[in-house]
Amino acid sequence: MDPGAGPVQRFAFHLRKLRTEAGGITYRALAQRADYSVTTLPL
């Protein structure tokens, strides 16, 4: 993901970075915590 490609890509890049810094939480675990579908989160 190229953070220089635009605001959406930059936002996605930083979200991925935060997930990694938080211990690499998976989308499945994040979905359970946030009460969202696992398929909704990567969008």
Q: Tell me: the pLDDT tens digits for 4-33?
A: 788 988 888 888 888 889 888 888 888 888
What pLDDT score was predicted for residue 30? 83
At 40, give phi and psi (nearest 5°): -80, -35
Task: Give the per-residue pLDDT at 33.
Answer: 87
The residue whose two tokens read 């635009």 is: 6
Q: Are 1 and 16 in contact (CB under 8 A)?
A: yes
Residue 43 pLDDT exceeds 80: no
pLDDT at residue 38 is higher than 70: yes
Q: DSSP letter at 41?
A: T
SS3 of the chain: helix, strand, coil, percent, to 5: 60, 0, 40
Say what the pTM is.
Answer: 0.55
